[in-house]
């Protein structure tokens, strides 16, 4: 079992600094937050509710990769060029979240190297865990298809 990399994984000083940049937003259930290969100009940290990450696979609409809950980071692609989403995301329930302007946070990461390092380490750990989840989900789908 993998451990989630919630916002609490960030050192308190950097976590508080990041959260001070966020604005409160709400989304209804079944709302698309972003689609694959579109511009990643923002990201969210979930307060309440659930969001599913998904991928488009040939001959399928969206295939669920992972479900995220409270305290988790929604969106990774905002930190790395070319700043395009690699997955899609949709709310599974009504959601409350902190929303962040990606360019503002990237600028802060550049101007404050200690903050930037902490954010990069945190996002890197989240990225690694999500890569493992994606790989596992795709292997499950492949195994299912091979049996059919």
Q: List pLDDT tens digits, range 68-98.
A: 999 999 999 999 999 999 999 999 999 999 9
- Work out the average pLDDT over 30-41: 97
- Work out the average pLDDT over 118-128: 93
Q: Other CB atoms closer than 10 Å to residue 10's CB: what's the count?
A: 22
Residues 6+ apart with CB under 8 A from 29: 91, 92, 93, 94, 95
pTM across the whole model: 0.86
Residue with tokens 């101007």: 111
Quick check: helix, strand or coil at residue 52? strand
Quick check: helix, strand or coil at residue 69? coil
């Amino acid at each position: 079992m993998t451990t989630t990399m919630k916002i609490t994984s960030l050192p308190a000083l950097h976590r508080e600094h990041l959260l001070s940049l966020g604005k409160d937003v709400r989304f209804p259930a079944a709302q698309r937050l972003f689609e694959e290969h579109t511009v990643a100009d923002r990201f969210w940290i979930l307060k309440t509710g659930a969001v599913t990450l998904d991928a488009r696979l040939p001959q399928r609409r969206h295939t669920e990769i992972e479900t995220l809950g409270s305290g988790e980071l929604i969106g990774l692609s905002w930190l790395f060029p070319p700043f395009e989403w690699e997955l899609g995301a949709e709310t599974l329930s009504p959601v409350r979240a902190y929303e962040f302007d990606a360019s503002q946070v990237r600028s802060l990461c550049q101007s404050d190297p200690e903050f930037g390092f902490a954010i990069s380490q945190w996002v890197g750990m989240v990225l690694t865990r999500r890569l493992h989840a994606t790989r596992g989900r795709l292997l499950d789908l492949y195994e299912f298809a091979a049996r059919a």
